């Protein structure tokens, strides 16, 4: 084996080991995170109205005193454990001062750079998102003057509190003659209605790219597709099938036309990783390294055989499920509009750019290994597929048990 092939092999293995070692912590893919929601609209008398939706149990432990004998903690957790919706709202209403003080410290609105004064409107309401209890809170803001640019800032449920990591706040707004959506997190905690279209484009593009990069289960699924493809056309067909499928369900779910609970989606996503990786291991066992889903056609090109069409069908079906996972991460809940559709498309573009970048970086190295050192290439792809399959099954069991 030449020095170049040896270095390439070491590089590929190092990258894959790093990815798989990160995958050993499945919670980093879709667990221990939270999403807050804020709908900002123009109210009566120049006021700005914000309708907040916050994860109930997280709000209770964050707003309560650190000591577990705090009255809010006791009442809130008791209502949560019993599933008593009325009791949950009553617990928040009974300790409204503590709860609204917490929200006020971590969520704010300014008008032309000047702070707006918040005032809670009505009591707390209860609802559910993805099967999780959410508390509703309406806040009216009095802003001095008639500012034409408003800025929303959110630092709700920060990592420093130690309860969750990577909280996002999804903001939908109709204000200052603008309407649309914005995604806030620790790295980008504020949004201004004065932002340009390309700044809003970058927000959702970044959100889509970051979601795929932080969602190790989606990366491993893509890695399994790459490892199981011997020719460029194979990976192009597989990636295209996956892209078309997840784009369809992503758009339908994000627009509220399809709704599937996360407890059903997440185990299937994990299972899809194991199945696609296992498919390649089965091919190796049956046919060796020369196994392929593409067979020569009479004109010198390649066409799909029955196994190839079956593989694409499986990838497409699993892509439909992954799309539901992407939509759940974005979490927008508003009426259909062209602005919303634009935000969803940009989010999806961010996902696709990262996906294509991973393919462009990994697949040529695997082709090089298989062409110059077939045995080494077989060992690398076989080992990677086996590791991915194991992780997929482990996650599937964990998610089923946690459902």
pLDDT tens for 116-157 read: 999 998 899 998 876 789 999 999 998 876 667 788 999 999
Structure tokens at 287: 């046919």
Write the burial class of residue 399 (CB in 10 Å: 0-12 exposed, 13-18 middle, 19+ buried): buried
pLDDT tens for 177-230 read: 777 777 788 888 888 877 666 777 777 788 788 778 877 888 888 888 888 777
The lowest-confidence range among 23-32, 42-51, 138-147, 263-272 is 23-32
The more confident residue out of 333 and 91 is 91
pLDDT tens for 369-400 read: 777 777 776 777 788 888 888 888 988 888 88
pLDDT the model gives residue 132? 83
pLDDT the model gives residue 68? 57
% of the chain at pLDDT higher than 70: 78
Kindly tell me if the per-residue pLDDT of 21 is higher than 70. Answer: no
The lowest-confidence range among 32-46, 116-130, 280-294, 320-334 is 280-294
The more confident residue out of 305 and 312 is 312
Q: Rounded to an integer, what distance in angstroms lies between the CA atom of residue 103 and that of residue 390?
A: 42
pLDDT the model gives residue 109? 92
Kindly tell me if the per-residue pLDDT of 18 is higher than 60. Answer: no
Structure tokens at 155: 């630092």
- The closest of 167, 136, 171 to 151, measured between CA atoms, is 171
Mean pLDDT score, 252-266: 78
Mean pLDDT score, 294-307: 52
Q: Domain extents for the chain?
A: 3-30+212-402, 35-164+166-195
In this structure, what are the phi and psi dihedrals at residue 247, rounded to the nearest 5 degrees?
-65, -40
Residue that the structure tokens 């509190």 belong to: 161
Kindly tell me if the per-residue pLDDT of 17 is higher than 80. Answer: no
pTM over the 0.85 mark = no
């Amino acid at each position: 084996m030449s020095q170049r092939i040896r270095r390439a092999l070491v590089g590929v293995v190092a990258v894959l080991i790093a990815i798989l070692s990160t995958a050993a912590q499945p919670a980093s893919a879709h667990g221990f995170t939270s999403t807050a929601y804020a709908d900002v609209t123009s109210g009566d008398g120049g006021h700005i109205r914000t309708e907040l939706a916050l994860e109930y149990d997280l709000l209770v432990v964050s707003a309560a005193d650190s000591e577990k004998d705090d009255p809010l903690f006791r009442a809130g957790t008791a209502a949560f454990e019993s599933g008593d919706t009325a009791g949950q709202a009553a617990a928040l209403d009974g300790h409204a001062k503590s709860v609204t003080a917490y929200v006020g410290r971590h969520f704010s609105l300014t008008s032309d750079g000047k702070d707006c004064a918040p005032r809670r409107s009505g009591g707390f309401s209860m609802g559910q998102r993805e099967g999780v209890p959410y508390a509703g809170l309406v806040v009216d803001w009095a802003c001095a003057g008639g500012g034409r640019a408003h800025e929303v800032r959110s630092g709700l449920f920060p990592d420093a509190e130690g309860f969750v990591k990577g909280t996002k706040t999804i903001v939908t707004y109709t204000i200052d003659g603008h309407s649309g959506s914005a995604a806030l997190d620790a790295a980008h905690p504020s949004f201004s209605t004065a932002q340009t279209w390309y700044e809003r484009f970058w927000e959702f593009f970044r959100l889509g790219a970051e979601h795929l990069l932080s969602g190790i289960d989606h990366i491993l699924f893509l890695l399994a597709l790459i490892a199981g493809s011997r020719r460029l056309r194979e990976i192009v067909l597989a990636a295209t099938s996956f892209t078309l499928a997840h784009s369809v369900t992503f758009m339908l779910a994000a627009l509220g036309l399809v709704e599937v609970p996360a407890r059903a989606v997440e185990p299937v996503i994990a299972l899809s990783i194991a199945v696609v990786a296992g498919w390649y291991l089965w091919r190796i066992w049956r046919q060796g390294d020369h196994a392929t889903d593409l067979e020569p056609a009479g004109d010198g090109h390649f066409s799909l055989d029955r196994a190839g069409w079956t593989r694409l069908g499986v990838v497409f079906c699993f892509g439909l499920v992954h799309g539901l996972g992407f939509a759940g991460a974005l979490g927008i809940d508003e009426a259909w509009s062209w602005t919303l559709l634009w935000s969803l498309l940009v989010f999806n573009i961010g996902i696709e750019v990262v996906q294509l970048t991973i393919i462009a970086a990994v697949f040529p190295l695997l082709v090089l290994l298989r062409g110059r050192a077939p045995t080494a290439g077989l060992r690398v792809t076989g080992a990677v597929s086996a590791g991915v399959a194991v992780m997929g099954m482990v996650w599937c069991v964990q998610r089923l048990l946690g459902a």
